[in-house]
Structure 1
Amino acid sequence: MARYSYDSIEDRHQVEAEKPWDARKLPATVYEMLKNSAETNGSGRAVSFQILSGPEDKAETLTWKQFHDKSVQTANLFRSLGIGEKDVVAYILPNANETLFALVGGMIAGIVNPINPLMEPEQIAAILRETGAKVVVTLKGFPKTDVAQKAHEAVALAPNVQHVFEVDLNRYLTFPKNLIVPLIRPRVKPTHGKPVKDFNAAVARQNTTLDFADSGKDRVAAYFHTGGTTGMPKVAQHSFAGIVYNGWLGSNLLFDSDDTIICPLPLFHVFAVHVVFMAVLNAGAHVVFPTPAGYRGDGVFDNFWKLVERWNVSFVITVPTAIAALMQRKVNADVSSLKIAFSGSAPLPVELFNRFEKATGVTVVEGYGLTEATCLVSCNPIGEGNKKIGSVGVPFPYTEVRILQCDGDGNVLKECGTDEVGEICVSNPGVLVGRTYTEEAKNHGLFAAERFLRTGDLGRIDEDGYLWITGRAKDLIIRGGHNIDPAEIEEALAGHEAVAVVGAIGQPDAFAGEIPCAYVELVDGAETTVEELLAFARKTIAERAAYPKHIEIVDELPKTAVGKVFKPELRKLAITRVYNAALAKDGLNAEVVDVVESKRTGLTARVRATGEVDRDRVAHVLGEFTRPFEWVD
């Protein structure tokens, strides 16, 4: 088991009382963590990756000695290309062992910049330009994915990139698939004029001992973009200190070298990289990554429990939307090896918690973190302690959480008392005070009392020291000046037996500014009606003002790569529906064709004429709402 028990706020205090954080003799860099694991557990399993999801499909497993050597070779490659400690290596990759080599090698040689391969080329290029990336590692053209095409298109828009390397996933396939891929592989023809080389071949030519001196001290080692499917995502800076802190927490409080963790989350996100992999690295444990697309991969949900049995998994890493999908399938394998399921990225509905525990006999531990804080902030007790369903547990040792009310400049107006809702503000070794984002202007107003990161999340701390997230400051539904927490609506509707996932937002309203509405994804095979859900909401939501005025059942809710309901897309759907209804009601020959995110005006409806139309009248009708619009021809 892990070194420390973590069952209550008293355990946290005991860990902190043992010695101050600065007095702990910890690795200063990621390379030191890697070297330690290779020396102490060199023959132990480190990482396993299988390109297909079947419980008997081919997998590649590396020991810690092998992983050390590949990561060092990758770091040597990057340094040979002129990557110094302030230079950036970006990777635009799905999950694979090479993704981990690029991650760790990039941190050792310089600054690594994982990029979501699901984004459009323009967003990828914007991040490449913002970070000044000199090297890009991406996929070689492969069937059923356009990652290579988008990456090369993005490089053409980022003149700072000097070298491009490609990873060929075909090496993971077996006969006859590995013979078919070269015949059907999409032919990608880069137009950027930069040299494109084979990643594995280039790595193999390097030494397995470091050709240069490791940093040996703290510095910025990673850039992670936050969110971003429209517009330019913000880029957060992560230091070795924060990365090592996450590794120390995971390996001392969560699991140790005897554990196997299954992580079907993407390796461009902090959850998979810092919470999971850096803890695995520090502990010398074993992590399994099933398929390049993780939970999104073909057959992963159907085969999930069999994969748990195959790998003798003790620790499941998941998110609420993945739990909802898993609960639509029977537990069809021996999962007796499981100890705990760790869920993050979004609050877990009580009903879903109960379903999972009943089906598996395993408790879900909810945690909380954010990219800007290098992730981990709190989690529920790991062992026998009181797991308060719906809370995100107790702040980790050496993490200080305050609930504050601040003005736009970060001046503290009030410190909230027990159970009083305010903004969650965090200070820990992962917070880079004053320089969280690469763009200086975006750090303005981000800190309270000059050291607490303002998360933008609303929450409270109860009398036992447990942290509860009550909503997102920008997600608040403001109905005629009355604040409504969307979590109240989501929690209620999630209790309906036919409901799998819920997203509640405020839809535009000409009278109240916003009124509550909800989009619902049903359990596979379940049936219900909007009328039934509306009646259920009225019975289960205590506050009349929070009753949703519109519920829409959709085949699948839009989600981010880590399974969060993507509310900006829901807001676009609501704006389009409400504005078009208003135009139709007034008999105007105009319609909303789409809604875009404008840097100047925020979500903006784009309207076109469908015939002769009085534009002044359109301006009057749509002017009744708070969200702006613009004409398109």
Structure 2
Amino acid sequence: MTGRLLWPDYARPVDLAAIEAVPLEARGLPESTYALLARAAARWPGRTALTVLPDAGRWREPVCRTFAEVLSDVHRYANVLHDLGVRRGDAVALMSPNCAELVTATLAAQVAGIAAPVGGALSRPHLAELLRRSGARVLVTAGPELAPATWDTAQALARDGLLDVILVLRPTGAAGAPEPLPAIDGVRIGYLGELAAAENPSAFAGDLPRSSDLAAMFHTGGTTGAPKLAAHTHANEVADAWMLAASDLFEQETVVFAALPLFHVNALVVTLLAPLFKGQTAVWAGPLGYRDPRLYSQFWKIVEHHRIAAMSAVPTVYAALAQIPVDADISSLRFPMVGASPLPAAVRDTFQAHTGTTLIEGYGLTEATCATARTFPDVSRPGSVGQRLPYQQVRVVAADGTWEDVPAGQTGLLAISGPTVFPGYVIGRDENGPVLDGLGKLVHGWLDTGDLARIDEDRFIYLAGRAKDLIIRGGHNIDPAVIEDALLAHPQVTAAVAVGCPDVHAGEVPVAYVTLASGASVTEEDLCDWARERVPDPAGAPKAVTVLDELPVTAVGKLYKLPLRADAIRKELRRALDRIPGVHVIDAAIEGSSIVATVKIHPSAQEDAVRAILGRFAIDWRLVVLP
């Protein structure tokens, strides 16, 4: 393949048409993620591929591996899996904070079988369900030195009969003899590094993956309930990684900083696979990544020392970095990318003013592999998440299920088609391997994203909120981002989330939750007044603003709204039922992706009155009469 064919000009929005004049199939992309790694090792064998920090405090003491060494490590790890019986249709679960061995093990799992990364913070019942659904009987996991709580969870899953093999990881740069591992009946347990030492580093013993084979299964859908398990093919991942690497943002000398957990698609595609295309070095943060408070005080020094040029993070990370004094030369930092959740304008503007660097916004979702759109640093499109990536098609359809296109510029449901759209969710296994189902998200080759959006004449996408996140007040749709942006414009507000609160008259009304800067003096009433004066639509003014010490976030730092919705329901029901004697407990709990309110009453309470009040709210509820 010629360099020109693989790497077209891709610096401006107008380049898209010329890129797509050449079919994607003619660009000669690698067959699989393994072939992508092998290509990098052949072209740049001695160049540093991975620089892994042991932790935020030891950023000057990384473990470094060249591309050739990474390929050898992947061969060894994949051969261990093959020896254990892992074959093409078999899933290998990976549950660990980031470390040098996890990066290698993730790639190796895609060579020998199918990688199934899971977040260790999920509850044991959820982890058990993911293991059952994926069919994974082999677990690669953090050992007692790296993450004791994760190690305890792994042992518990094994004792529950869910695993046949546990392969244990050590911390990056671990020295000395590892801790002895316990024996669990019927389960083989060993340190992956020790087992791999005797394996062949020059080749994989099994059949290499093809483009149509499954490469990974990623859980998605939240941190409660049983998350869905989205399947990716090798073709999905290679294509999406190429679409990112093709951009002029990624040059050979671009050093990429990686700190999102590897159970998140952004970490895999943006900071692991995409750098393989041009032989770029990826600097991986310690096991806590962006969740390590120590990282922030050292961050600008890390940028200077490692000459970081690109990074990928969520808005909350950039909001925090904008408060850290710049105490180093950060001129290398040119391409800070932000995604995973909407970027508030206040965060974008504050970070740019603080660092002199423009945030590059992106949009994507697990079901479309990772990235679908991105902005251009030199092209201003306020409010846009960017232009679609090459070879991905987007359209906006009516949100009523008819799939009819809405007129240009109008808001509707965003749909995506193209080579990155996933083949479906894993719902189980049969004799042929994983069983996939679109579960209503795939319609004639188009993916229903669940996001409301409009598209301008240059095919730039403007999100208008999640369809399920809309606050509907008396039939009036309210985008929570409008409220959040108004509150974030207050100089003492550091983060804001708006959610719907049940209301007997309007169905629901908006309420907001915020965090404040240290030493802030503004009151909740002051913030209500502030928002009322700045939210464009009076119906969108929050009924209440609650100040919290911190807002709930997921494991990758995305603001997590369900607990706040539950809190709003709980408060409103307490207010409504306050005058009825005999009401003992009012709670609202997250069950799956829904919230169910529970009211417990004494037998002497006015049960009919309680039921009548609960029935006036558009919520799921249950009434429990105490014995």
Superposition TM-score tier, normalisation by shorter sequence: over 0.9
How far has the Cα of 1:144 moved from its partner?
A: 6.8
Residue type of the partner of 2:361?
A: E
Deviations 1:411-456 (A, max 9, x none): 42x21222200011001211135x34546796243134x0110000
Scaled by the length of structure 2, what TM-score is found?
A: 0.93
1:63-142 equivalence runs, <5 A? 63-142=66-145
Contact 1:401 1:427 in 2 (8 A): yes
1-structure distance, mates of 2:24, 2:147? 47
Of 609, 614, 617, 2:606 maps to: 614
2-structure distance, mates of 1:512, 1:140? 52
Residue type of the partner of 1:75?
A: A
Aligned partner of 1:172 in structure 2 is 173
2-structure distance, mates of 1:145, 1:475? 36
SS in structure 2 of the partner of residue 43 of structure 1: coil
1:29-428 equivalence runs, <5 A? 29-54=32-57, 56-142=59-145, 145-157=148-160, 159=162, 161-169=163-171, 172=173, 193-208=186-201, 209-253=203-247, 254-382=249-377, 384=378, 386-408=379-401, 411-412=402-403, 414-428=404-418
Of 507, 512, 522, 1:513 maps to: 507
SS in structure 2 of the partner of residue 363 of structure 1: coil
Contact 1:590 1:613 in 2 (8 A): no
CA pair 200-143 structure 1, distance change in 2 beyond 3 A: closer
How far has the Cα of 1:109 moved from its partner?
A: 0.6
Structure 1 residue 471 corresponds to structure 2 residue 471: no
CA pair 563-610 structure 1, distance change in 2 beyond 3 A: farther
How far has the Cα of 1:506 moved from its partner?
A: 0.4
SS in structure 1 of the partner of residue 397 of structure 2: strand
How far has the Cα of 1:558 moved from its partner?
A: 0.4
2-structure distance, mates of 1:329, 1:546? 33
Residue type of the partner of 2:568?
A: A
Contact 2:304 2:328 in 1 (8 A): yes
2-structure distance, mates of 1:262, 1:296? 15
Contact 1:42 1:63 in 2 (8 A): yes
Deviations 1:98-142 (A, max 9, x none): 111111000011111000111111111110011000210111123
CA pair 367-56 structure 1, distance change in 2 beyond 3 A: closer
What value does the CA root-mean-square deviation take over the aligned residues? 2.3
Contact 2:133 2:426 in 1 (8 A): no
Give 5+ residue unaligned stretches, structure 2. Answer: 429-434
1-structure distance, mates of 2:581, 2:510? 26
Deviations 1:235-281 (A, max 9, x none): 10100111111221222113133111112111100011112211012
Structure 1 residue 576 corresponds to structure 2 residue 570: yes
Contact 1:347 1:390 in 2 (8 A): no
Deviations 1:546-597 (A, max 9, x none): 1100110111100112221101111111111111222213344322244131
Residue type of the partner of 1:550?
A: A
Of 522, 527, 530, 1:533 maps to: 527
Deviations 1:298-353 (A, max 9, x none): 40111111111111101121110111111121111110111111001111111211
Contact 2:226 2:592 in 1 (8 A): no
How far has the Cα of 1:406 moved from its partner?
A: 4.7
Which deviates more, 265-274 or 279-288? Answer: 279-288
Aligned partner of 1:563 in structure 2 is 557
CA pair 618-143 structure 1, distance change in 2 beyond 3 A: farther
Aligned positions, number:
613
1-structure distance, mates of 2:482, 2:59? 43
How far has the Cα of 1:3 moved from its partner?
A: 4.3
Contact 1:236 1:438 in 2 (8 A): no
CA pair 508-406 structure 1, distance change in 2 beyond 3 A: closer
Aligned partner of 1:591 in structure 2 is 585
1-structure distance, mates of 2:93, 2:148? 19
How far has the Cα of 1:52 moved from its partner?
A: 1.9
CA pair 531-491 structure 1, distance change in 2 beyond 3 A: same
SS in structure 1 of the partner of residue 219 of structure 2: strand
Aligned partner of 2:431 in structure 1 is none
SS in structure 1 of the partner of residue 600 of structure 2: strand
1-structure distance, mates of 2:193, 2:357? 40
Contact 1:390 1:468 in 2 (8 A): yes
CA pair 189-515 structure 1, distance change in 2 beyond 3 A: farther
Residue type of the partner of 1:428?
A: G
Structure 1 residue 604 corresponds to structure 2 residue 606: no
CA pair 377-551 structure 1, distance change in 2 beyond 3 A: same
Which deviates more, 370-379 or 214-223? Answer: 214-223
How far has the Cα of 1:598 moved from its partner?
A: 5.2
How far has the Cα of 1:188 moved from its partner?
A: 8.4
Deviations 1:50-93 (A, max 9, x none): 12213654211111111111111111111111111100101001
CA pair 91-56 structure 1, distance change in 2 beyond 3 A: closer
CA pair 457-437 structure 1, distance change in 2 beyond 3 A: farther
2-structure distance, mates of 1:442, 1:493? 41
Contact 1:306 1:333 in 2 (8 A): yes
SS in structure 1 of the partner of residue 578 of structure 2: helix
Residue type of the partner of 1:606?
A: T
SS in structure 2 of the partner of residue 572 of structure 1: helix
CA pair 496-81 structure 1, distance change in 2 beyond 3 A: same
How far has the Cα of 1:206 moved from its partner?
A: 0.9
CA pair 551-571 structure 1, distance change in 2 beyond 3 A: same
- The percentage of counterpart residues that share the same residue type is 34
Residue type of the partner of 2:25?
A: D
Structure 1 residue 456 corresponds to structure 2 residue 460: no
1-structure distance, mates of 2:371, 2:31? 19
Which deviates more, 231-240 or 326-335? Answer: 326-335
Of 474, 477, 488, 1:480 maps to: 474
Residue type of the partner of 1:393?
A: G
Residue type of the partner of 1:11?
A: D
SS in structure 2 of the partner of residue 285 of structure 1: coil
Which deviates more, 453-462 or 488-497? Answer: 488-497
How far has the Cα of 1:401 moved from its partner?
A: 0.4
Of 620, 623, 626, 2:615 maps to: 623
Give 5+ residue unaligned stretches, structure 1. Answer: none
